[in-house]
Each structure stands twice: as C-alpha cells, then as structure tokens.
Chains A and B, each alone.
Chain A
Amino acid sequence: MIDMKHQNIIDGIVELIRKAETELPKDVIKSLEKAYKIEEGVAKTQIAAILENIELAKKTKRPMCQDTGIQTFFVDIGVDFPNILDLKNIIINGVKKATKEIPIRPNTVDPFTGENHKDNTGDYIPYITWDFVKGNEVRITALPKGGGSENMSKLGMLKPGVGIEGVKDFVVEEMIKAAGNPCPPTIVGVGIGGGADLALKLGKRSLLRPVGIRNKNKNIASIEKELIERINASGIGPMGLGGKTTVLDVHIKKAHRHPASLPVGIAVQCWADRRAHLVIHSDSSWEVE
C-alpha cells in the first residue's frame, strides 16, 4: 500500500521526469545558441531546427525527443531522511506513472524475449546510483539516456605505456568513428582510470556537470579544451552533415588505476542533454529545479 506521503513524492518523481524530458538546462541552450552563431549552410539549418524544437517542447510540455531514454537517476540520500527504505519503490512507481502521464515512450525490452515491459521499468531499470550525504534531504538528478548516443559508448583498456597522449587519441578517434550517429553536437563524458566498469561509470557521471564548466584540475581542464578543439576540427558537424560544432563539451573524471591498466570509458550524450533535479525534504514536500 502506498500512503499519501509517498504518493506526494511519487508525483515529485513524475515532475522531475517531465522537467527533464521537456526542458533543456540553460547551459545547453546557451551553448547551442553559440553554435548557431558560428555555423553556416546546412549545419545552421540543423541547429535552427534543434532550437525551434526545444522551444516547442517547452511550450507544449511534450518530450523534446521521441526517445525518452532509459530512466537514469543519481540519488544523494541525506542519512537523516525518514523514508530511505521506500525510496527505490517510490522512484519505480514514479517512472511507471510518468510513462502514462507525460507520456514517455515505453523503452524497456527483455533482451531474451524481446518483450517490451511497457512501463519503463524492468530488471535493474530504472538505473539508480545511490550515494549517502549528511542531512535530512534527498537530492535526485534525472539523466534520461537515449539509445542512439548510448550505442556510441566505448571502453578502451589501453596499455599504460601509451600515456595520456594515447588516451586523447583514443577519444578523438572514437568520436570521429561515431560520426553523425549519436546526434551531434554531443557532450562527451570521459572516465579515465579505475577498472573497466568504473571508467564507464565515471564517464557517464561526468555528464552531470553543466556544459561550459571546466574540470577543477587545471591540467585536466586544458586536456578537455584540447579534446573539444580536436573533435570539432574533424568537421563532422551537427547530425554528421558537416560543420564546426561536433561536440558542445568534453568532461573528464578520473579514478586511480591499477598499475597494469589504463581504462578509458566514453559516455556520449546527444545534444538533448536532459538533466533535472529534485529535492525531497524530510516532511515529504519537494521542489523540482
């Protein structure tokens, strides 16, 4: 039985998903507007269509892209929040409700039977990453992740001897190979170090950082800048139709690595870099931002 308090938080999850699916964060829009200014010809028509689409989606409260993604959440749980054990169920129920209410596309398919679960839930999905923090509030970030860009993810288990130069070359080469498939201009998240799974996880996690914000480490920040320049120099352009803007940003996150391994995980996000935040207070009230 779901009590009224929980019902209220479930509605918060629905609004979180609605916000993510229908309104792009300002940092992404700003960066697309910048791209519009520098592009010409066919590339300009693509950015124009994207900007028109973003405005229309916000105005009509409909998902900007038909691929509403795999529902992905990053949750910071304040250890003094009273309903910690119920949070997973609340999120799952919120996803089910959002599927009908917004609506979002039923996107969860059983890999063996091919059967669509029809409510965006299933084994391990929604995909939730949990962290504990101080306090009595819960902060949830939604990052609905589309299939086209996810299919361009890459893991490289590089030989440590290739060094950071090898890492940079790997990222640039893979993004050139991806060409127009991940709906460029994209945001590229690169996880370096750890084991294989951690590298990919850090790549995805780095996508939470707003577009245009550099890594706090100056050396890593300059590598991010270099990668942006090198990938954009490829001329792949918006939708792979040629142009100056192939990526809007590159974000790097690092972990310490095993001496014998140099894992590089690339997570690609399409221009529809959908992110939204929900704060749930200890009295079950909430705000979406």
Chain B
Amino acid sequence: MEHYLNLPASSEQIKELKVGDILYISGKIFTARDEAHHMMLEKEKLPFDPSKMGLFHCGPLMKNAKDGWHVVSAGPTTSSRMEIFEDNFIKKYKINIIIGKGGMGKKTQKALQKYICIYTSYTGGAGALAADKVEKVEEVYWLDKLGMPEAVWILRVKDFGPLVVAMDSRGGNIYG
C-alpha cells in the first residue's frame, strides 16, 4: 500500500504501517551517522527536538551559497553501522521513523517493537532524487566539529520517497 505521511507521525499511524508498504513523507528530518549518534547519546540537552522528526542515516553533499546551505545530493548511508547505537537512540529521543539502507539488526528490531518505530529503506545512491525532495535546509549542528558528512542537518522535505517499510513495529522484517 502507498501512504503519504506528514511528520511528526503518531504512534497510531506508525502502527498501521507494515513491511512492503511504500511511504512518502513530508515534514522535518535530521541526518545522523555514527559520529552524530555517538555524540547525541552523550548529550543531556539538544538544540532541537528529534522526536518530531524522521531520523535519516545520511551524510549529504551540501553546497554553501549566498542564500545559505543547499542539498546537492543526499541518499542514505549503510544503516548497519548505527546498529550499536540505535536501540538506545530510539529510546532516548523517541524516534518513530528511521530512513536508511541495507537494514538493521536484532537490537534495533526489538526497539522498533517496544517503542513503536519503523525502519524504512530509501534507494541507496539515489542522492540527486532525494535532494530534489528537500524544500529547505533548516539548520545544521556540529558542522565544524564533525565535518559535512557527519554533521546533523535538519531538512524540510516534501513527499520524500519512495520509502519502503522494511522493518515494522510488529516484528515484520523484509530482509528475512
């Protein structure tokens, strides 16, 4: 089934989604790779509220123009690298939608069920297409410390997809 979802999504909406569904999301998402996960887990206070956004495993290619930052290319990065952080991350920041590629492990699968969250797959390498769905770069955090790919970028997206629900909140897993 195809769904168009506005973020933030409610637990009820997330529960409805199951493996194989195609999703297009609108609203705010934030990028976080290994370094950002690690750093955010150690912090007590954040300058933004991740619970209202989608978590995007992505190290984007950005360009700084006169009118601010623009996304050049922004496909997903390999999600399995975040497996060591993700269950705690979901718990601490009340994440309910993850976008990545390649799938995640058992710890994350359990957390998806416990905290009502889904893992969705965006087509790896489709960075130009993803950039096309970004309406605005809202903010960037820790750019100097982490560098462009590892920094946390807050992006406002419109009909961002197709995302395939690959691991759902009921224990379903497309990767088998």
Contact = CB atoms under 8 A, between A and B. Distances in A.
Interface of A: 41-42, 45-46, 49-50, 52-53, 56-57, 60, 62-68, 103-107, 109, 116, 118, 146-148, 151, 179-181, 183, 238-242, 270-272
B149 A53 contact: no
Contacts of B126: 49-50, 52-53, 64-65
B98 to A, nearest CB: 15
23 contacts: A42-B20, A50-B123, A50-B125, A53-B129, A56-B129, A56-B132, A67-B59, A68-B73, A103-B61, A105-B59, A106-B149, A148-B101, A148-B102, A151-B78, A180-B103, A180-B124, A181-B80, A181-B102, A238-B123, A240-B103, A270-B125, A271-B125, A272-B125
Contacts of A238: 123
Interface string B151-176: 00000000000101010000000110
Nearest to A106: B148
A63 B73 contact: yes
Nearest to B147: A116
B9 to A, nearest CB: 21
Given A42-B20, A107-B149, A239 B123 contact: yes
Contacts of B111: none
Interface residues of B, number: 36
Contact of B102 (A49, A53, A57, A180): A180
Contacts of B75: 65-67
A45 B127 CA distance: 16
A107 to B, nearest CB: 7
B127 A179 contact: no
A155 B77 CA distance: 23
Given A238-B123, A239-B102, 8 more contacts: A45-B162, A45-B164, A49-B126, A53-B129, A63-B73, A151-B78, A179-B175, A239-B124
Contacts of A272: 125
A97 B24 CA distance: 37
A53 B125 contact: yes
B95 to A, nearest CB: 21
Q: Which of B121, B127, B149, B162 is the most central at the interface, judged by chain A CB atoms within 10 Å of its CB? A: B127
A53 B20 CA distance: 21
A26 B22 CA distance: 29
A86 B103 CA distance: 45
Nearest to B176: A242
Contacts of A146: 125
Contacts of A105: 59-61, 73, 148-149
Interface string B33-65: 000000000000000000000000011110100
A171 to B, nearest CB: 20
Interface string B114-132: 0000000101111111111
Which 4 interchain pairs have the tightest Cβ spacing? A183-B124, A53-B126, A57-B128, A66-B127
Contact of A62 (B20, B72, B123): B72
Contact of B101 (A57, A103, A239, A242): A239
A62 B60 CA distance: 13
A56 to B, nearest CB: 5
Interface in B63-122: 63, 72-75, 77-78, 80, 101-103, 121
A45 B121 CA distance: 12
Q: Which of B129, B130, B166 is the most central at the interface, judged by chain A CB atoms within 10 Å of its CB? A: B129
B128 A42 contact: no
Contacts of A67: 59, 75, 77, 125, 127
Contacts of A53: 123, 125-129
Contacts of B63: 103
A270 B124 CA distance: 9
